Amino acid sequence: MTQNSKLKTQNYICKTPEDTFDLGESIGNSLNGGEIILLKGTLGAGKTLLTKGILFALEFDIDEVTSPSFTLVNLYEAKFNVFHIDLWRLEDGGNTAFAVGLDEILEDENAVVIIEWAEKLNEFETDRKIIEVRLKGDGDDRREISITNLT
C-alpha cells in the first residue's frame, strides 16, 4: 500500500453494538467516494456491523448487507458503488488482491471499497484515500476501535 503524508488516528470505545453501528454511520457520512476502508479485527469484533452502519449512511438497505465470507465480494449499489470484500477464507501469504480482483474493482474510481480481514491483504499500489479501522472486542462486549487515515 502506498502511504503518503501524515497519519491521523482517532480512538473510540463502543459500549454497545448500536454504538458500533453509529460509528460506521459516521464514517459513511464522511465519505466522498473512492475511499478504501481496511477493517482489521478478530472474528466477532464487529467488522460487518460497522459496514452496515457505513452502508446505512450511503442510503442502502442494511437488511441486504451480509458478510461476503463465501462469495468474497458483494457489490452494493448505494450513493456510491460499494464493494464489500471479505478475505477470511483466503490463505495467508497468497496474492489476495489478485484473488478478489482488486485491480478491476479499483477501476471504478468513485467506488468505496470495504475490505474485511485486511490483515491478509498483500501489498498493492493505489493513490486512493485509505482508512484503516482496527476493532477489538467480541459480540455484545464493548469494542475498542481505532481509525487511522492513511493519506
pTM score, whole prediction: 0.88
CB 148 within 8 A of CB 1: no
Query: Residues with Cβ < 8 Å from 42, sequence gap 6 or more?
Result: 136, 138
CB 81 within 8 A of CB 57: no
Q: What's the CATH number for 7-150?
A: 3.40.50.300
Q: Where are the domains of the chain?
A: 7-150
Give per-residue pLDDT as tens, 116-148: 988 888 777 788 999 999 999 887 789 999 999
Give per-residue pLDDT as tens, 7-34: 789 999 999 999 999 999 999 999 999 9
Sign of the C-alpha dihedral computed for residues 98, 1, 111 and 50 taken in this order: positive
